[in-house]
Amino acid sequence: MSFIKKLDAAWASSNSLLMVGLDPDLPRLPAELADKPDAIFQFCRQIVDATAPFVCGFKPQIAYFAAARAEGQLEDLCAYIREQYPHLPIMLDAKRGDIGATATQYAQEVFGRYGADAVTVSPYLGADSVEPYLAWGDRGVIVLCRTSNPGGSDLQFLMTDGIPLYLRVADLVANKWNTNGQCGLVVGATFPNELAAVRQAVGGSVPLLVPGIGAQGGDIAATCAAGCNEQGTGMMINSSRAILYARGSGHWTESAAEVAQKTRDDINAHRLGTQA
């Protein structure tokens, strides 16, 4: 099943636009995992099990695994998600961007080694740096467009023939690079006006990965109003730290599940009203 078909099915079966980011920060892991050699895998596995009923997919951030020399645990985690939750897409957040020969190796790593359904990439080096990912015709290629961090404006707001660079990227992806119909864009919830501009520019069929709610403070109501398509879908709204490190009265997995469910329900309360 292609990434887009899998994502469409996950939106429907889970009744959710929420994607949980898996950012395992060793100093913040529960004390009960501290002495385990596979602590990162165990933490993420339990988060996955706790939140799977409420999400449309999972987004492991490769930097957290690589910094802890835990790439093997990332392999195990991706295999676990594929085996236990085959209906939920795996989005590997890698933000790769390099010349074609190197990008070919990165694509093999992401799609071959980790078996991810989709990957985030940078457009800065142009079309030939993205083509090796597009060669995996059924996999998703999610291109950085208007990122959630404040410093993104340094480059993304530069005007090119009267059009800001982030909208130029959106146009390239939607109308030139999306040859397999599996491309999407990263647009932050922290900038709802730009999110709305991107949705208007690319139409309703291009999925948007939307970080920035939760710990970064993005507003769910504004995000849904700006980014949903006519079907009330079209987005993977990511939350990481607010769910992973939730604090409640029960076990940490219960707290994560509670926040995930509440976030899913909050999104649904607003996004269902956007349907035509």
Catalytic residue among 36, 95, 176, 262: 95
- Count other Cβ atoms within 10 Å, centred on residue 1: 13
Report the CATH superfamily, name and number, of domain 3-274: Aldolase class I (3.20.20.70)
In the annotation, is 5 catalytic? no
Question: Residues 35, 38, 43, 48: what is their CA dihedral angle, to the nearest 10 degrees?
Answer: -160
Q: Are 53 and 253 contacting, i.e. CB atoms less than 8 angstroms apart? A: no
In the three-class reduction of DSSP (H, G, I as helix; E, B as strand; rest coil), residue 22 is classed as strand
d(CA 239, CA 227): 16
What stretches in the chain show pLDDT beneath 70? Answer: 214-215, 273-276
d(CA 215, CA 229): 25
Domain ranges within the chain, ordered by starting residue? 3-274
Ordered alpha helix ranges (H), 146-191 = 153-156, 165-172
Beta bridge partners of 58: 20, 90
Q: What pTM was estimated for this model as a whole?
A: 0.95
- Count other Cβ atoms within 10 Å, centred on residue 247: 8
In the three-class reduction of DSSP (H, G, I as helix; E, B as strand; rest coil), residue 23 is classed as coil
pLDDT digits (tens, 9 = 90+) for 213-256: 866 778 999 999 999 999 999 999 999 999 999 988 789 999 99
Say what the pLDDT of residue 274 is. Answer: 56
Say what the pLDDT of residue 92 is. Answer: 98
